[in-house]
Amino acid sequence: MRVETLDWDTISLKLENSINDPKINQRNLKESSLSTAVEMQDYKILQYLTKTKGGLITSEFRKVIWPVLLGVEHLEDEVEPDWRLLPQHKDEDQVGLDVERSFVYYPQNIPSTDKRKLKDDLRSIITRVLRTYPELSYYQGYHDICTVFLLVFEDDLELCFKVLSIFTLVHLRDFMMPNIDVTLKMLKLIPELTSKIDEDLYNDLIMGNLEPFYGLSPIITLFSHDITEFSTICQIFDLIIANGSIGVTIYIYVCLLSNKKDKIFE
């Protein structure tokens, strides 16, 4: 992907500050900037814009830009065996149970036949990932993450599989090990970061004496199990993909704790 030298200060100024032309708003300007960056195949500008307020705005942009940021274009085109003929993964029964509990919050107001198709597609895409990479262990909540990808790439299941596979191997692999040792090490960053950001909160919650299992669900699901607004969860995924690390979820979690501490102690 070609990288052009652009005036980032000017781009930032245009995105964040008010403009004189009332016919143009920040959303339209950002959409125009994203379209231009896509046309120029400019990775760095796409990465920068993805991190700005509002993320990638729409699923249409995500369909194009998520694969770019995850490097799907660099995958070698190989003839893969039909995943349906691969050995069954040990966790497929649990996948089936979780899929039946999916699509509760979004999409809304769709016919039952459409929801059934989404569930069937979700089960297929998860099963394909697990059969293709049998060393991975499924965990409850992975289906919530996969739901987001499926809704973004709903009309292109092959691209959805490629993007989800890379995202899984790069960002979720540690959560899909036979034990939670690596996951626990990551969770221990929560009290450590809290002590730096909000020492009073750290002390009031006695974080130094607790194993951070309280953060397990939101972190391993990237908040997709708890946040009911699709656009909001997509913006979190934008940030993770643009930063190239799920470590940002720790910062988000700690900031939420700090901002909501009054409610915590009610």
Helix-, strand-, coil-residue percentages of the chain, each rounded to 5: 65, 0, 35
Residue 1, pLDDT > 50, answer: no
Measuring CA to CA, which residue among 92, 102, 187 is closest to residue 141?
102
Place 6 in a pLDDT band, splitting at 50, 70 and 90. very low
The residues spanned by each domain of the chain are 86-175, 180-265
What is the percent of the chain with per-residue pLDDT over 90, rounded to a whole number?
70
142-152 pLDDT, tens digit each: 999 999 999 99
164-192 pLDDT, tens digit each: 999 999 999 999 999 999 999 999 999 99
18-71 pLDDT, tens digit each: 444 544 567 788 999 999 999 998 999 999 999 999 999 999 999 999 999 999
- Distance in angstroms (rounded) separating the CA atoms of residues 4 and 166: 26
Q: What is the pTM of this model?
A: 0.86
Alpha-carbon dihedral angle through residues 53, 225, 163, 88, given to the nearest 10 degrees: 180
Say which DSSP state 106 is in. Answer: S
Say which DSSP state 172 is in. Answer: I
The mean pLDDT value for 134-145 works out to 97
Assign 210 to helix, strand or coil. Answer: coil
Residue 225, pLDDT > 70, answer: yes
| CATH fold group of domain 86-175 | Helicase, Ruva Protein; domain 3 (1.10.8)
pLDDT value at residue 80: 76
DSSP string, 108-152: -S--HHHHHHHHHHHHHHHHHHHHHSTTS---TTHHHHHHHHHHH
- Distance in angstroms (rounded) separating the CA atoms of residues 155 and 94: 26
CATH of 180-265 among 1.25.40.10, 1.10.472.80, 1.10.3720.10, 1.20.120.450: 1.10.472.80
- Taking CA atoms, 238 is separated from 17, 61, 148, in Å, by 22, 11, 11
- Distance in angstroms (rounded) separating the CA atoms of residues 3 and 69: 13
CB 153 within 8 A of CB 61: no
Sign of CA dihedral 24, 26, 30, 36: positive
